[in-house]
């Protein structure tokens, strides 16, 4: 069996162009990611997912960012509008773990019906007073053990709905005081603090099939951003114990400097398995795919293990789940 391409890539519009079909057939990316520009209707999304899988000739994973709040690609009126996670956790109170399970079981139902079988969640970055606004309400709380518990509930809800979770942002983005989409955050806390606080939820969830890196510098450990740092990637594998498939966060984010091909090479050399590239031109996608090449033997084994974690959704009464979640959500709405 030929190894998959060491990339996750996106599409320009609502259907693949002939040029994109040819490119994907050649590059054979491990998987794909969807954005709002790729979404118009349920039938159209299903057709696009079919286009993507047809292009590579296999049941490639298709992921999306469907957290809720500001970060959700599927929105009303066709799909539910979800509140941001942090206020939803607060509203649910002592029922938060069950509420998060139900929330992401319902999200998984929406995704799976469209042919989307992965979601970039749970996000187990631990929030604090310093957490930048771009991230804070996307977090689940301020206590590492509680965040890990809620992250497990999110992952279980997705898996039971036939959707692979992507654990992010390894090894922890909560202390960032700037937005890594725009700048490179630097964290100065000592290793002991990071280990006990930021890294702890990721260690608790280190059995999940896929994870996504954080684009920030942990100055006590290395001067390079985690995504391109061999030292940090070794810490993720050894100290945190995560042996699943690791993808970069989007390599086009401004936190990382250099050309897209340089970043691709640096991230894979550091120990990432997959380069995730979003919002790029076809030429940029082609250059990154050429640079990334194919997964190595270890990466291919991780990719195959991740795909083997896909499940047939458990049978549930969606209306009953909605009613139960509504009853424990403190008046927050998530309707269409």
Residue 125 is among the residues annotated as catalytic for this protein = no
Q: pTM of the predicted model, to two decimals?
A: 0.97
pLDDT digits (tens, 9 = 90+) for 47-59: 999 999 999 999 9
**What would the mean pLDDT of 135-142 be, rounded to a whole number?**
95
pLDDT of res. 292: 98
**What would the mean pLDDT of 57-72 be, rounded to a whole number?**
97
pLDDT of res. 65: 98
pLDDT of res. 331: 77
**What would the mean pLDDT of 45-70 be, rounded to a whole number?**
98
**Helices then strands (H, E): number in the chain?**
13, 12
**What would the mean pLDDT of 265-294 be, rounded to a whole number?**
98
Compute the chain's Rg from CA coordinates.
Answer: 19
Share of the chain above pLDDT 70, in %: 100
Q: Is the pLDDT of residue 45 over 80?
A: yes
pLDDT of res. 333: 75
pLDDT of res. 1: 67
pLDDT digits (tens, 9 = 90+) for 77-123: 999 999 999 999 999 999 999 999 999 999 999 999 999 999 999 99
pLDDT of res. 259: 97
Whole-number mean pLDDT of the chain?
96
pLDDT of res. 111: 98
Structural tokens at position 271: 């120990």
- Output 193-199 pairs: Cβ under 8 A, ≥24 positions apart: 194/218, 194/220, 194/221, 195/239, 196/144, 197/126, 197/144, 197/172, 198/125, 198/126, 198/144, 198/171, 198/172, 198/174, 199/171, 199/172, 199/239, 199/240
User: What is the β-pairing status of strands 210-213 and 71-72?
Assistant: unpaired
More confident residue, 2 or 234: 234
Choose, from 28, 160, 249, 273, the residue flagged as catalytic: 249
Of 301, 246, 310, give the one whose Cα is nearest residue 8.
Answer: 246
**What would the mean pLDDT of 283-296 be, rounded to a whole number?**
98
Q: What's the pLDDT band for 143 if we cut at 50, 70, 90?
A: very high
Residue 181 is among the residues annotated as catalytic for this protein = yes
Q: Is the pLDDT of residue 334 over 80?
A: no
Q: Is the pLDDT of residue 255 over 90?
A: no
Q: Find out if CATH 3.20.20.300 is the number for domain 5-327.
A: yes
pLDDT of res. 335: 72
Q: What's the pLDDT band for 176 if we cut at 50, 70, 90?
A: confident
pLDDT of res. 93: 96
pLDDT of res. 225: 96
pLDDT of res. 274: 98
- Assess whether the previous peptide bond of 77 is cis (omega < 30° from 0): yes
**What would the mean pLDDT of 119-137 be, rounded to a whole number?**
94
**What is the four-CA torsion angle of 2, 261, 134, 30, rounded to 10 degrees?**
-10
**What would the mean pLDDT of 20-48 be, rounded to a whole number?**
98
Integer Cα distance of 304 and 306 in angstroms: 5
Q: What's the pLDDT band for 203 if we cut at 50, 70, 90?
A: very high
Where do the structural domains in the chain lie, given as residue ranges?
5-327
pLDDT of res. 287: 98
pLDDT of res. 57: 98
Of 303, 296, 273, 275, give the one whose Cα is nearest residue 164.
Answer: 303
pLDDT of res. 177: 84
Of 114, 208, 196, give the one whose Cα is nearest residue 159.
Answer: 208
Integer Cα distance of 165 and 163 in angstroms: 6
**What would the mean pLDDT of 176-198 be, rounded to a whole number?**
91
pLDDT of res. 240: 98
């Amino acid at each position: 069996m030929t190894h998959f391409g060491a990339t996750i890539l996106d599409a320009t519009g609502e259907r693949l162009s002939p040029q994109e079909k040819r490119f994907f057939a050649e590059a054979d990316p491990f998987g794909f990611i969807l954005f709002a520009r790729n979404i118009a209707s349920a039938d159209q999304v299903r057709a696009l997912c079919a286009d993507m899988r047809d292009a590579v000739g296999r049941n490639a994973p298709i992921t999306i960012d469907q957290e809720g709040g500001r970060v959700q690609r599927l929105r009303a009126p066709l799909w539910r509008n979800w509140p941001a996670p942090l206020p939803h956790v607060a509203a649910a109170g002592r029922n938060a773990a069950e509420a998060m399970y139900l929330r992401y079981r319902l999200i998984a139902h929406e995704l799976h019906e469209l042919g989307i079988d992965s979601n970039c969640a749970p996000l187990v970055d631990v929030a604090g007073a310093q957490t930048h606004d771009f991230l804070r309400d996307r977090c689940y709380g301020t206590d590492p053990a509680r965040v890990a518990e809620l992250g497990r509930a999110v992952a279980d809800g997705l898996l039971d709905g036939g959707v692979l979770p992507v654990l992010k942002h390894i090894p922890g983005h909560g202390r960032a005081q700037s937005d890594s989409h725009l700048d490179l955050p630097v964290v100065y806390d000592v290793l002991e603090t990071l280990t006990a606080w930021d890294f702890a939820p990721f260690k608790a969830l280190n059995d999940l099939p896929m994870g996504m890196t954080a684009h920030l510098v942990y100055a006590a450990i290395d001067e390079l951003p985690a995504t391109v740092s061999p030292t940090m990637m070794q810490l993720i594998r050894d100290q945190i114990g995560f042996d699943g498939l690791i993808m970069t966060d989007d390599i086009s984010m401004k936190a990382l400097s250099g050309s897209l091909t340089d970043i691709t090479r640096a991230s894979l050399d550091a120990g990432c398995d997959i380069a995730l590239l979003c919002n790029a031109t076809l030429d940029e996608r082609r250059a990154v795919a050429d640079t990334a090449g194919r997964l190595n033997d270890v990466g291919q084994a991780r990719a195959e293990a991740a795909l083997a974690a896909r499940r047939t959704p458990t049978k549930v009464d969606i209306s009953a789940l909605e009613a139960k979640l509504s009853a424990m959500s403190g008046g927050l709405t998530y309707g269409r």
